[in-house]
Structure 1
Amino acid sequence: MTSTPDPAAEGHHPLVGQPHREDEGEGTVAEAEAKAAEISSPERPLGRLGKRLNRRSPFFIGMTGAAGIAVTYGVIGLLAGAREVLIVVGLALFLAIGLEPVVSWLVNRRFPRWLAVTAVFAVALTALGGFLAAAIPVVVEQAAALLAALPDYARQAQDHSTFLGRLDERFHLRESVEASFGPGGGLTDGVLVAGKAVLDVVTDGLVLIVLTIYFVADLPRIRSAMYRLVPHSRRPRAILIGDDIFAKVGGYVLGNLAVSVIAGVLALVWLLATGIPYAALLAITVAVLDLVPVIGSVIAGLLVSLVAFTVSLPVGIATVAFFVVYQVVEDYVLVPRIIGIAVKVPALVTVVAVLLGGALLGVVGALVAIPVAAALLLLAEEVLYPRLDQA
């Protein structure tokens, strides 16, 4: 019984290009096959690794440059086409890193990771479900009351002796509303667009929750895979810097949520105390907008103040004063004590980062701008500045 020949023994695989002819390649291929048979061995049937290419050759340099341009152009095109999906994925990873300190805290207290992840999301989803169950009926009721009151507001806007009338006279608010929702203004289209927007938000929210759960559950493996992309000689330093960045992001996310909850609760107390209508709806709006640094709380204060002026001029002025005082307290007391410990970013860098993030990625960009700026500052202090000082 004859043994099966080694596929590379003759330098020509028995399952490729058969029948084999002696005149293949007029000697050039035959010579290469003979050489292939020589370098093939039982230990290395496919031969040893060849010599490196000459990276200084003009051909190699030209092809590398052309390939780099083509790949860069293709990657930019792919990123632009998948922008919305990448934003959801990036936000999910951002939230996963933000929840990681809580999960790791439980793991350090002898919780299995799967149990720690389950406990964190069970508490988070239960709190979210309870909040929605309590808030949605009130919000729907107050939103319906707001819609019912719109004709009265329209009449006030036509009366130039009222505050709304003076605002309309200066900014032409009624004309803008009529152009958007009046006859021929696309009311049906506006409703359809609003319905599609709500559906997109719900869908993206569900995808965001699922992705965040997966990212949190598999974050140790993701972390290891990221660090393996760093050269071995630089990996220890990269781990120290990277873990510090992760900790900053986690502290920022949890701290920002805490500050937003405080803003919503204080706003609700003020609205109920002063008798401003739609208290629950406005308080939720304040809490959500306060998640966006710098500009979020300002926009929320303006919206609530406009509603407060419909009650009376003194209530409106008092509401403006309340939000100004709260903004000072948040900027100089709450944020330094809750977020500033983890994320130390100068005020100027904070404002510039939020503006740039908002211009590039909208609300999501403004939300992640501060931890990204903190990461860049850390890299600059630990890597860039020491290199420049030694140059």
Structure 2
Amino acid sequence: MSKMPWRRSRPAERPSASSSASEAAERAHLLDSHPQVVHADIEQMDAETRKMYRDARNAAIETREQDAREKRTREFVVRAPFQLGFVITLGVLAALLVGAMVSELTTIIMYVVGALFIALGLDPVVRWLERKGIKRPLGIGIVFGSFILIIAGIFALVIPMLSNQVAQLVRSAPSYFNDIQNQPWFKDFHARFDGLVDLDGLLKMGQDFVAKPENWAQFAGGVWQASIGIANGITAAIIVLILSLYFLASLQAIKRGFYTLVPRSGRAKVMDITEQVTKSVGGYVNGMVILALINAVLGFIMMTIVGVPFAGLVAVGVFFLALIPLVGSLMATVLVAAVALFNSPGAALAAAIYYLIYMQLEAYLLTPRIMNRVVSVPGSLVVIGALAGGTLLGLLGALISIPVTAMVLMIVKQVWVPRQELH
């Protein structure tokens, strides 16, 4: 019986540098071709940004291949613990100082954020004019000039109407208040709920409040404070418009400057996300303004037909309330119904029914068409984002909560999720 020749077992072969490089290239290809990953549209970029993007893509590929060949590993070794602790302490103090500075500069930050959103909302129109063969400076002049003319025209139409209706409100408010007990709806409400609510006591309390001169002095002080607030608001609006013009004129340069702060090998992914975010924010701002304008115009027509008092003044309030995500339409409904109640319960009921129908049409017909593929955020995150934004930055925070939440979701889906699925 012949014996088989003895052979020494060979140790497992280590993968060569070329195989590691090919594996890294394959891994990078799988990451780039993941269904969630969306690359920037280079046709929407200007020539300099397009050149920077292509260079960054090539640099990312070269860096991955070089890392795979060299198999570089980084070790964390603490050689000077006291020096490390001192540096960490300085970093904490610097963070506290920056936080204190941010809290003091909240108003300026709100101006900057508001101007940036206006610039991003106007930028898609400027790009459209560029695709039609108009130079960007001329396109910016046309778009921003038209924007200013539209705002001036709206104010020219609205301010005289508002002043007349406010004066009418001031003149007729005492008669509304004193004759409220003679209104048919008040008598009906008094007959139904007389045992539950002391309407006569509440009415007498209100009349006594109006009759005291010191209360009118407080009211005059409140009017003075409101006038100061209006003046500050006009000043803030002028500052925001000037900043938005600067942002719109230098938007491409600002983005390129931001890209240069990122390492060349990781710049392409940052450009992918940033271009998508700016496009989504611009579309979101345009969509919200269009929806709010439709809401205000149709609401004004309805209030005129139903006979709601001070329809023009209420329509302006509806426009600004409709800009607030999630709860704006509901707040507008409450406002219109409350004002319509001064006319009659039937007018208030008709206004409430109209807005209930309109909110359904807006949710299922107008919003999907106008906001198509702009932002897609689950309802629960919309609520959380609106609450967090409103707590941090007030009304402005509530307005920007949806695009900011969409930006965070976009980063998670296109950066974090694909990397986790490849492990």
Kindly indicate whether residue 334 of structure 2 is the aligned counterpart of residue 302 of structure 1: yes
Query: Equivalent residue for 2:62?
Result: none
Identify if the C-alpha distance between structure 1 residues 101 and 175 changes in structure 2 by more than 3 Å, giving closer, same or farther: farther
Select 1:71's aligned residue among 85, 90, 94: 94
Identify if the C-alpha distance between structure 1 residues 169 and 351 changes in structure 2 by more than 3 Å, giving closer, same or farther: farther
Could you say what the CA RMSD is over the residues aligned between the two structures, in angstroms?
2.6
- Paired AA for residue 325 in structure 2: P
Kindly indicate whether the alpha-carbon contact (under 8 Å) linking 1:276 and 1:307 is maintained by their aligned counterparts in 2: yes
State how far apart, in whole Å, the 2-side matches of 1:87 and 1:58 are: 41
Query: Equivalent residue for 2:151?
Result: 128
Select 1:62's aligned residue among 85, 92, 99: 85
Kindly indicate whether the alpha-carbon contact (under 8 Å) linking 1:181 and 1:187 is maintained by their aligned counterparts in 2: no
State how far apart, in whole Å, the 2-side matches of 1:243 and 1:208 are: 23
Kindly indicate whether the alpha-carbon contact (under 8 Å) linking 1:98 and 1:250 is maintained by their aligned counterparts in 2: yes
Scaled by the length of structure 2, the TM-score of the pair is 0.74
Identify if the C-alpha distance between structure 1 residues 168 and 58 changes in structure 2 by more than 3 Å, giving closer, same or farther: farther
Query: Equivalent residue for 1:372?
Result: 404
Identify if the C-alpha distance between structure 1 residues 361 and 121 changes in structure 2 by more than 3 Å, giving closer, same or farther: same
Kindly indicate whether residue 388 of structure 2 is the aligned counterpart of residue 356 of structure 1: yes
State how far apart, in whole Å, the 2-side matches of 1:191 and 1:113 are: 45
Deviation digits for residues 348-375 of structure 1, max 9, x if unmatched?
A: 2222212221122111111111111110
Identify if the C-alpha distance between structure 1 residues 303 and 345 changes in structure 2 by more than 3 Å, giving closer, same or farther: same
Query: Equivalent residue for 1:103?
Result: 126
Identify if the C-alpha distance between structure 1 residues 65 and 115 changes in structure 2 by more than 3 Å, giving closer, same or farther: same
Deviation digits for residues 163-184 of structure 1, max 9, x if unmatched?
A: 6998994996986898799643
Residue aligned with 1:111, SS: coil
Residue aligned with 1:246, SS: helix
Structure 1 runs, 4 residues or longer, greater than 6 Å off: 164-168, 176-181
- Paired AA for residue 367 in structure 2: V
Select 1:248's aligned residue among 280, 299, 312: 280
Identify if the C-alpha distance between structure 1 residues 197 and 130 changes in structure 2 by more than 3 Å, giving closer, same or farther: same
Select 1:226's aligned residue among 236, 252, 258: 258
Select 1:161's aligned residue among 158, 182, 187: 187
Unpaired runs of 5+ in structure 1? Answer: 1-53
Unpaired runs of 5+ in structure 2? Answer: 1-76
Residue aligned with 2:373, SS: coil
Kindly indicate whether residue 214 of structure 2 is the aligned counterpart of residue 184 of structure 1: yes
Give the percent of matched residue pairs that are identical in Structure 1 and Structure 2. Answer: 32
Kindly indicate whether the alpha-carbon contact (under 8 Å) linking 1:135 and 1:280 is maintained by their aligned counterparts in 2: yes
State how far apart, in whole Å, the 2-side matches of 1:257 and 1:57 are: 57
- Paired AA for residue 345 in structure 2: L
Residue aligned with 2:187, SS: coil
Q: Larger relative contact order (C-alpha < 8 A, sep ≥ 6)? A: 2
Identify if the C-alpha distance between structure 1 residues 377 and 172 changes in structure 2 by more than 3 Å, giving closer, same or farther: farther
Deviation digits for residues 94-146 of structure 1, max 9, x if unmatched?
A: 22112111111112222111111100011111111111111111111111111
Kindly indicate whether the alpha-carbon contact (under 8 Å) linking 2:308 and 2:339 is maintained by their aligned counterparts in 1: yes
Kindly indicate whether the alpha-carbon contact (under 8 Å) linking 1:227 and 1:235 is maintained by their aligned counterparts in 2: yes
Kindly indicate whether the alpha-carbon contact (under 8 Å) linking 1:117 and 1:217 is maintained by their aligned counterparts in 2: yes
State how far apart, in whole Å, the 1-side matches of 2:80 and 2:395 are: 48
Query: Equivalent residue for 2:16?
Result: none
Scaled by the length of structure 1, the TM-score of the pair is 0.80
Identify if the C-alpha distance between structure 1 residues 206 and 58 changes in structure 2 by more than 3 Å, giving closer, same or farther: same
State how far apart, in whole Å, the 1-side matches of 2:298 and 2:204 are: 32
Select 1:314's aligned residue among 342, 346, 349: 346
Kindly indicate whether the alpha-carbon contact (under 8 Å) linking 1:156 and 1:164 is maintained by their aligned counterparts in 2: no
Kindly indicate whether the alpha-carbon contact (under 8 Å) linking 2:117 and 2:281 is maintained by their aligned counterparts in 1: yes
Deviation digits for residues 25-49 of structure 1, max 9, x if unmatched?
A: xxxxxxxxxxxxxxxxxxxxxxxxx
1:304, CA displacement in angstroms?
0.9
Identify if the C-alpha distance between structure 1 residues 155 and 379 changes in structure 2 by more than 3 Å, giving closer, same or farther: same
Kindly indicate whether the alpha-carbon contact (under 8 Å) linking 2:306 and 2:350 is maintained by their aligned counterparts in 1: no
Query: Equivalent residue for 1:274?
Result: 306
Kindly indicate whether the alpha-carbon contact (under 8 Å) linking 1:344 and 1:374 is maintained by their aligned counterparts in 2: yes
State how far apart, in whole Å, the 2-side matches of 1:168 and 1:119 are: 61
State how far apart, in whole Å, the 2-side matches of 1:246 and 1:312 are: 47
Select 2:315's aligned residue among 278, 283, 301: 283
Select 2:115's aligned residue among 92, 96, 101: 92
